[in-house]
């Protein structure tokens, strides 16, 4: 089944960053330290964080609007340029003076990452009041929380959730969060949350070592924070979805040789959100997201996945 997401409008709010790659080769070790001497052969930049979520959504066919902030610097300019060139709405990304755009520079030698240099400054950013049009203009809202400060204010979550519940006629029905905070109080009342196992363990303070403990931890989040579904990302072990009324589904993993998991969570939440907005079927949405993640981790570095890649991939498994 080929899905068309051209009628799905998504609002992405979160921490926008840029990933810069230096791809090189090495044939000797440094005499100064036990590290390779890398000779750069290629450099390129890709949107990271919430930017990677937006890129994945757009390449899957959705209409995407971004809300967040970047620095008034060359990296912020580059990030905006890439997003705009893809047809992503960036009018609500604020440019801030004297603040660096979050930057992750990865150095690869002979196809393997050997170093990463991060530039960042946590910001307590206050979003402008724009909530009056959310419920009628978007089908789904993604909160891409990398804990860099855009989503620091718990009152913002309450405001956004309230805006999505204004009336049954409103278009927006689903708020999905990719969490990074240890304290999930911020996420109280969202519809779907997508923690990895480390995030799930920290949030619940429960030891997680098998599917049974994953289910118990997810149920704890559902009960404590009034969440409809917890989509637990298990890496190479697939996905477990836990919902209200004892709903549990285990999504089997796809085998990928030498996976590069950089940004895979961004692909998962992008795919999950638009399929759920289209079908309201959480199990199918998780299977679709799982397939999209398998394609992403088979690529080097931060990677976006197109709708054609996913459709072709799914066909090969059916």
Let me know: does 218 contact 200? Beta carbons within 8 Å: yes
Residue 139: phi, psi to the nearest 5? -90, -30
Q: In whole angstroms, what is the distance from residue 311 CA to residue 292 CA?
A: 9
Q: Which residue has the tokens 């990398």?
A: 146
Residue 15 catalytic? no
Q: How does DSSP classify residue 226?
A: T
The H-or-E segment that residue 302 falls in is: none
Residue 30 Cα distances to 57, 113, 115, angstroms: 42, 16, 14
DSSP string, 179-216: ---S-GGGGTT-SEE--BHHHHHHHHT----SHHHHHH
Q: In sequence order, which residues have a C-beta less than 8 Å from that of residue 282 and are 6 or more positions away?
A: 192, 229, 231, 241, 243, 247, 249, 276
Q: In whole angstroms, what is the distance from residue 158 CA to residue 192 CA?
A: 15
User: Which candidate in 73, 145, 178, 266 is catalytic?
Assistant: 266
Taken in order 300, 295, 289, 51, the sign of the CA dihedral is positive
Let me know: does 265 contact 146? Beta carbons within 8 Å: no
Q: Which residues are catalytic?
A: 266
């Amino acid at each position: 089944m080929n899905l068309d997401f051209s009628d799905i409008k998504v609002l992405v709010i979160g921490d926008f960053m840029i990933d810069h790659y230096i791809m090189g080769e090495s044939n000797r070790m440094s005499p100064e330290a036990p590290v390779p001497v890398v000779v750069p052969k290629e450099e390129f930049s890709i949107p990271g964080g919430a930017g990677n979520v937006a890129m994945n959504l757009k390449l899957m066919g959705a209409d995407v609007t971004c809300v967040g902030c970047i620095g008034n610097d060359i990296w912020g300019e580059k990030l905006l340029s890439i997003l705009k060139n893809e047809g992503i709405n960036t009018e609500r990304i604020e440019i801030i003076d004297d603040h660096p755009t979050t930057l992750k520079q990865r150095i690869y030698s002979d196809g393997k990452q050997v170093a990463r240099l991060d530039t960042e400054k946590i910001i307590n950013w206050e979003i402008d009041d724009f909530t009056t049009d959310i419920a009628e203009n978007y089908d789904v809202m993604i909160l891409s929380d990398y804990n860099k400060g855009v989503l620091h204010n718990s009152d913002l979550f309450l405001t956004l959730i309230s805006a999505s519940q204004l009336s049954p006629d409103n278009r927006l029905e689903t708020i999905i969060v990719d969490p990074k905070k240890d304290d999930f109080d911020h996420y109280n009342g969202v519809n779907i949350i997508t923690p990895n196992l480390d995030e799930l363990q920290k949030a619940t303070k429960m030891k997680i070592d098998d599917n049974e403990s994953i289910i118990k931890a997810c149920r704890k989040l559902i009960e404590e924070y009034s969440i409809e579904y917890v989509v637990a990302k298990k890496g190479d072990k697939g996905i477990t979805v836990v919902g209200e009324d004892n709903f549990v589904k285990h999504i089997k993993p796809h085998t990928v040789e030498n996976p590069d998991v950089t940004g895979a969570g961004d692909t998962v939440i992008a795919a999950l959100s638009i399929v759920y907005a289209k079908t309201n079927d959480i199990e199918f949405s998780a299977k679709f997201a799982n397939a999209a993640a398998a394609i992403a981790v088979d690529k080097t570095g931060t990677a976006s996945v197109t709708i054609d890649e996913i459709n072709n991939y799914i066909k090969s498994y059916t």
